[in-house]
Amino acid sequence: MKNTILDKSKLVNSVFSQVYKKYDLMNDIMSFGIHRLWKEKFIDWMNPYSGSKLIDVASGTGDIAKLFSKKNNHSSEIICVEPNIGMLEEGKANLKKLKNIKWIKASSEKLPFKNNIFDFYTISFGIRNVSDINKTLCEAYRVLKPGGRFMCLEFSKINNEVLNFFYKQYSKTIPLIGKYIVGNSQPYEYLVSSIDQFYDQNQLLELMDKNGFSNSEYRNLSNGISAIHSGWKI
């Protein structure tokens, strides 16, 4: 089990080390820009308040941190946690003008923070890449304050058979797009596989409940191509 977790960690790190320079461009191309609308809906449902403290895990290039900060007029302290050094440096460069955002290299399974200190925990298109989802959820619960909110945006399972058929066909082209844009198809073969193998909406809810979260619920986006999950530490 330990070797399996280590192997996935190495695989994911290798994947993002190959794509970080063109990560945002590929996201825009693959989703036709729709991922940006999903992230705005994510922040809207979260409805962050002035002075709230956020930990954004698997921050990537900082999209969620940027939107969160903008939503409450840059009044919040935001900690971005990213395990891949290339992605972290890209994110820091993107958000260097926002002085309320700090970056830390760490894994979701072992956060270097005390208990009960964040109002919000977010993870966007990252939870399917973690090595141990239960440890990740347990750590999320630990670092949130009582009354704090966990929110996850992730690819999920489509609830429309016709759309699902065409989505599966389109997914087969993603590695080819990756080869053309990034010069390597393998990271995007992993991407397609990781989406296909990840939990469905209700399975993720069950894992959240198992790890202590209350009032857990989800909202589908684009018929379940992605979904937002929300849970509370009570």
pLDDT digits (tens, 9 = 90+) for 37-53: 999 999 999 999 999 99
Which H or E run includes 151? strand 144-155
20-34 confidence digits (pLDDT tens): 778 888 888 889 999
Tell me the C-alpha distance between 86 and 77, whole Å: 23
Task: Quote the pLDDT of residue 5.
Answer: 55
Tell me the mean pLDDT in the region 83-98: 94
Give dist(CA 195, CA 143) in Å, integer.
Answer: 27
Give me the mean pLDDT over the 212-223 stretch.
98
Q: Express each pLDDT in 124-151 by its tens digit.
A: 999 999 999 999 999 999 999 999 999 9
**Any idea which fold 2-232 has?**
Rossmann fold (3.40.50)
pLDDT of residue 3: 43
Return the domain boundaries, the chain. 2-232
Burial of 111 (0-12, 13-18, 19+ CB in 10 A): buried
| In the predicted structure, residue 159 carries a pLDDT above the cut 80 | yes
- Given a cut of 60, whether residue 222 has pLDDT beyond it is yes
SS3 217: strand
Q: What is the mean pLDDT of the chain?
A: 93
Tell me how far apart the alpha carbons of residues 130 and 149 are, in angstroms, rounded to a whole number: 20
- pLDDT of residue 99 exceeding 90, the answer is yes
Q: Facing residues of 101 across strands?
A: 78
Q: CA-CA distance, 215 to 140, in Å (whole number)?
A: 16
Of 36, 64, 32, 70, nearest to 50 (Cα)? 70
The reply to whether the predicted model has a pTM over 0.75 is yes
pLDDT tens column, 62-74: 999 999 999 988 9
Strands 226-232 and 214-221: what pairing? Answer: antiparallel
**Amino acid letter at 74?**
H
**pLDDT for the residue 231:** 98
Task: Give CA torsion, residues 68, 204, 177, 12, to 10 deg.
Answer: 90
